[in-house]
């Protein structure tokens, strides 16, 4: 009873859910129900009159009228069906894309930690594939109502042959429903596995054809390697697929036996009734066709009820998916802050410890540091020291495992997320460029006008490059979709990422090794430009190289997730410790030759 109540609630959820996304499809569904219910009954009955007239009356003019009616009405109904399909195709596409975009937005706003979790991705993929509102309306709702109407007609026809015939068919259908339940159970168990394989196949195929993989694939002759990877995945897939098909095969054989029993019994009984003269030859044809259609229709109805049970499970999965991917920040009380009228912007780490989800290793250990308003902090250390994780916590891509991070004395986890994001201009080492125009990649959805855009381009050092392009900042950053697209070099891409930060003009600037692809001299020059541009903003520089330290008020040296040294450049050099060792090793690269 609890499962039944839950299933009813979940079906109600799908009605409401599908109405929000595709209410126009319900009007189309009504038309399709009428057509799908009327046409089979009409097509079933008309041949009876034609056959009986040919057998007994032989009035050729009447036969012609019957045939003309059969062809004409079927043609008209089919024409209406095609017109409705054509007229509704646009709304169907819009509804489906609206549904897909909703889940895209959900994934784009969920916690970053969940985005890195493959099991979450599989769950999202499964939820999207099995809760389509358009499919629910067009298949589940339309099919269910059509089944009921058709079965009412088939039942009436068969009852005129003998009421016990219906009971016999229902008994076979009940047995067959157990087969269907087993088939649905197999599908539910294997669907998540096949979903994961599907994502892997798409990734491997995209790696072969995508432009941004093109150089690596060709230089390293990776096509053969990818082909082998694909073949290995296919082998693994086929092992599981064959295992699932063996289960389906056993059920299908049993299903075929039941169908054979029904066919033999029904044909025998109908032949007997025809021989003794109880039914005509035309009625014989109608009864056999009706029994077949009734069996199929009732089996479909039973299957739909079973499918409702699994649809309910998919809805449960979908709700769980929404709980999993909904931002954890939503559980906090949002504190409003007035950024425009705030003069100081200070960040404090208070005994912050962090380890990534599903791991046991602590990446940051008991970090306590104050980044004073208007000051510049350089965070240095070798790769893997925890520097980028430190920035991810400031950006709220992850939450501390222990401890708190404060902005002006306020726990950042309690600040409205969108408002907090306005505080930060960040240039990541692994910045992303989108396959749209240069302007799109700088402005996004915050158009402040051409003056601000020009200023950001000037500050980033891209002026000469953009002025040399025929379409200027309207030039696409890829040829993936546009013939006039260009591909930026690594250094140009980093400058564009910096232009985003300048354009956003947030009070806290973070540079997470944005110069990794530059040589030491170019890096030093770029940091000089940074320093002149950011003026009195609070700034954090992350690097395993030391070009930024001469512009900063203080330096924090990270090693193995801890701050092992902290102070000014001179203070750290006087310690003759890790910082001194790093500086002495790297200093030779910052001496520019004549």
Least confident window among 30-34, 313-317, 556-560? 313-317
**pLDDT-derived band of residue 139, with 50, 70 and 90 as boundaries?**
confident
Residue that wins the pLDDT comparison between 172 and 466? 466
- Residue pLDDT, tens place only, 402-438: 999 999 999 998 888 888 888 998 888 778 888 888 9
- Residue pLDDT, tens place only, 166-216: 777 777 777 777 776 777 777 777 777 777 777 777 777 777 776 666 656
Is the pLDDT at 251 greater than 80? The verdict is no
The angle at the Cα of 502, spanning 342 to 535, to the nearest 5 degrees, equals 60
Q: Percentage of the chain with pLDDT > 90?
A: 12
Residue that wins the pLDDT comparison between 305 and 501? 501
DSSP per-residue letters across 417-464: HHHHHTTEEEE-TT----SSBHHHHHHTT----HHHHHHHHHHHT-HH
Residue 268 makes CB contacts below 8 A (sequence gap 6+) with none
Of the ranges 53-62, 255-264, 266-275, 439-448, the best mean pLDDT one? 439-448
**pLDDT-derived band of residue 223, with 50, 70 and 90 as boundaries?**
confident
Is the pLDDT at 366 greater than 90? The verdict is yes
- The pLDDT of residue 21: 78
Is the pLDDT at 164 greater than 60? The verdict is yes
Q: What is the mean pLDDT of the chain?
A: 79
- The pLDDT of residue 545: 67
- Residue pLDDT, tens place only, 276-299: 777 666 677 777 777 777 777 777
The CA–CA distances, whole Å, from 70 to 50, 66, 157, 442 equal 10, 6, 19, 65
- The pLDDT of residue 454: 92
Residues β-bridged to residue 567: 555
How far is the C-alpha of 500 from the C-alpha of 493, rounded, in Å?
A: 11
Is the pLDDT at 594 greater than 50? The verdict is no
Q: Percentage of the chain with pLDDT > 70?
A: 83
Residue that wins the pLDDT comparison between 30 and 57? 30
Is the pLDDT at 398 greater than 70? The verdict is yes
Of 503, 518, 497, 491, the residue nearest 433 (C-alpha): 497
DSSP conformation class of 59: -
- Angle between helical axes of 24-52 and 2-22 (0-180°, round to 10): 100
Burial 202-212 (b: 16+ CB within 10 A, else e): eebeebeeeee
Q: Is the pTM of this model over 0.85?
A: no
**Structure-derived torsion over alpha carbons of residues 357, 360, 364, 368, reported in degrees to the nearest 10:** 100
Element (H, E) at 374: none
- The pLDDT of residue 517: 59
- The pLDDT of residue 92: 73
Least confident window among 223-227, 233-237, 328-332? 328-332
- The pLDDT of residue 144: 85
Residue that wins the pLDDT comparison between 428 and 263? 428
Of 200, 403, 160, 443, the residue nearest 283 (C-alpha): 160
């Amino acid at each position: 009873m609890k499962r039944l109540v839950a299933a009813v609630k979940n079906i109600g959820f799908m009605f409401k859910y599908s109405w929000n996304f595709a209410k126009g499809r319900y009007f189309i569904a009504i038309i399709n129900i009428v057509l799908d219910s009327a046409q089979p009954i009409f097509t079933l009955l008309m041949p009876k009159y034609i056959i009986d007239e040919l057998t007994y009356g032989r009035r050729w003019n009447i036969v012609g009228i019957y045939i003309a009616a059969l062809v004409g009405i079927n043609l008209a109904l089919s024409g209406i069906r095609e017109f409705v399909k054509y007229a509704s195709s646009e709304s169907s596409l819009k509804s489906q894309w609206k549904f897909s975009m909703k889940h895209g937005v959900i994934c784009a706003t969920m916690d970053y930690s969940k985005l890195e979790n493959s099991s979450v991705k599989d769950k999202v993929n499964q939820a999207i594939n099995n809760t389509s509102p358009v499919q629910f309306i067009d298949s589940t709702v339309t099919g269910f109502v059509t089944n009921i109407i058709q079965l009412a007609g088939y039942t009436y026809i068969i009852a005129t042959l003998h009421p016990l015939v219906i009971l016999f068919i229902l008994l076979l259908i009940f047995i067959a429903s157990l087969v269907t339940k087993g088939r649905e159970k197999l599908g539910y168990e294997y669907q998540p596995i096949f979903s994961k394989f599907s994502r892997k196949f798409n990734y491997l195929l995209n790696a072969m054809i995508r432009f941004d993989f093109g150089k690596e694939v060709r230089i390293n002759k990776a096509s053969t390697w990818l082909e082998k990877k694909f073949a290995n995945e296919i082998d693994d897939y086929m092992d599981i697929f064959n295992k699932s098909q063996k289960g389906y095969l056993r059920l299908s054989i049993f299903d075929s036996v039941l169908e054979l029993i029904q066919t033999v019994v029904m044909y025998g009984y109908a032949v007997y009734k025809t021989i003794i003269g109880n039914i005509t030859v035309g009625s014989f044809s109608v009864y056999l066709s009706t029994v077949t259609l009734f069996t199929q229709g009732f089996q479909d109805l039973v299957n739909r009820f079973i499918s409702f049970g699994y649809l309910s499970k998919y809805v449960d999965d979908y709700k769980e998916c929404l709980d999993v991917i909904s931002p954890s920040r939503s559980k906090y009380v949002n504190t409003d802050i007035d950024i425009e009228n705030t003069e100081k912007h200070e960040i404090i780490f208070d005994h912050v410890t962090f380890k990534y989800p599903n791991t046991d290793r602590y990446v940051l250990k008991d970090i306590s540091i104050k980044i004073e308003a208007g000051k510049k902090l350089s965070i240095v250390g070798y790769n893997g020291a925890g520097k980028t994780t430190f920035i991810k916590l400031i950006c709220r891509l992850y939450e501390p495992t222990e401890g708190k991070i404060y902005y002006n004395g306020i726990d950042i986890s309690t600040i409205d997320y969108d408002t907090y994001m306005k505080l930060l201009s960040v240039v990541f080492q692994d910045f992303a460029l989108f396959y749209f125009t240069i302007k799109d990649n700088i402005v996004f959805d915050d158009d402040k006008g051409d003056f601000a855009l020009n200023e950001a381009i000037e500050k980033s050092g891209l002026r000469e490059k953009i002025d040399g392009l025929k379409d200027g900042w309207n030039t696409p950053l890829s040829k993936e979709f546009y013939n006039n697209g260009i591909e930026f070099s690594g250094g140009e891409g980093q400058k564009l990422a910096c232009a985003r930060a300048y354009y956003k003009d947030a009070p806290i600037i973070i540079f997470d090794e944005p110069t990794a692809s530059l040589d030491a001299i170019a890096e030093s020059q770029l940091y000089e430009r940074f320093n002149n541009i950011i003026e009195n903003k609070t700034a954090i520089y992350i690097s395993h190289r030391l070009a930024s330290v001469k512009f900063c008020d203080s330096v924090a040296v990270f090693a193995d997730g801890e701050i092992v040294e902290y102070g000014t450049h001179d203070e750290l050099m006087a310690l003759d410790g890790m910082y001194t060792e790093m500086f002495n090793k790297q200093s030779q690269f910052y001496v520019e030759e004549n």
